[in-house]
Structure 1
Amino acid sequence: MTLTDIESATAAPEYTADEMMTVAAARALRDGTRCFVGIGLPSTAANLARTTHAPGLVLVYESGTLGSKPDRLPASIGDGILAETADAVISVPEVFNYWLQPGRIDVGFLGAAQIDKYGNINTTVIGGDYADPGVRLPGAGGAPEIAASCGEVFVVVRQSRRSFVERVDFITSLGHGRGDGERARLGMRGAGPTLVITDLGVMRPDPSGELVLTAVHPGVTVAQVRAATGWELRVAPELSATEAPTAEELSALRALKAAS
């Protein structure tokens, strides 16, 4: 075997920016965590985590399924596979009244149309005002209560100046408000957004609640992340680099998508 053969055999697998983002988000979920899952990117990452390093991850969906274990990605919170594979199916009011609001959920995993420098999420309207917006989005669903009551919130979203704005057009789900303890003053139970994962890197809030870049994905520069951010993004003193997806992680992710 030549040196070229060896290098080809040991080369890192190719992957997309979306796959890197999903893998990074999945890695953030710990085994045994109770996770309230949003549909879309959060559901993909949560199910990847459950099928790889966190088999004991408890997935809770808004439709009332506790401990779902789908072998494919659900199309919606009403997808039958969530009920078929759940440990229990309860009513929607029970999910919110007896699980979410009393603080029994460790992590809320959400997406966003817009997110601002303090982790506030908008999925309601963009441009204009509420009555006459430029774009009307799908709306809140259970996200405001998830953001308010979970122990902490992870957000996964593709990054651009359109999605990462200095101030969201409408606060659907409160992050850290306007910073400096506003969330606590409003009486919110949970810690709010503690982690934001994008297709470029990872952000975490500083003590004031402002998001700070703490890691970049392989091949991504700080300049690229800043160019895709609608405010003057600060960078952590010890910026780290995300590890590339492994062949096992990519295989598991692609199998989930292929089955859907």
Structure 2
Amino acid sequence: MDRNELADFLRTRRERITPADVGLPAGRRRRTPGLRREEVAHLAFISTEYYTRLEQARGPHPSREVLAGLARALRLSDAERDHLHELAGAPPALPPGPPRDVRRSIYDLIERLPLSAAFVTSATLDVLAWNDLAAALMEDFSAVPPRERNLMRRAFFGTLYGVSDTEAFARSSTQRLRRAAGRYPADPDVKALVEDLLAGSATFAELWASHDVDREPTLRKTFNHPLVGPITVNCDALDIADSDQQLVIYTAEPGSPSEEALRLLSVIGTQRMDVTH
């Protein structure tokens, strides 16, 4: 808990809010900008003495309930609320399970990437969004049930689109799932995925037992595509931190045979692909 920073943050947030913003009368004799301390305390359902001590950097460690009341009273944005929790030494609680909703701007972004296969995965490697080239390179995800769009199920229970780094992906995806299980210990879908993989794959069980959580970045991989042959791509994985998701982008070297293969795939699309591939 950083008492001095917390005190300054509370004061500056209080001073920017006018009484009218929260439905209070302004009054004639208001010697402080924004709200008074007692007004914030009233709105947050805490005592004026307690709030005053927080602003004077001598208050006790506030509970999550107190922080929620202060965030509401001070009309904090999501980013400000998270910052308040960090200053108070009580990081905001994560949602009960991995977020699955993808922002509209991310959908628009992956559609605008030229000659790039791009898709978004959840913390547990569910494919949540994809562009046409990703569908042509990997599979038409719209043609399979959401449960079967999980890349870990593909890696341990089937074929992973003929990629060259299946073993490395198995390790890195298990490490990522281990971290997700730690962040969402009560989520039934996370538990079910782990249980299914443990029951169905000795390889996964061995990797899971290692408790490794280090990230192993993959920089390049090769797809053995059934229509256009081998395609070597650069791999860039960008974290979407606020939703615990990852944007994965596959691109080929300019002027390479792989770029020509991707260009051909962008024309062929998924029209001739067997979705069970």
TM-score normalised by L of structure 2:
0.24
Greater strand content:
1
Q: Which has the larger radius of gyration?
A: 2
TM-score normalised by L of structure 1:
0.26
Greater helix content:
2
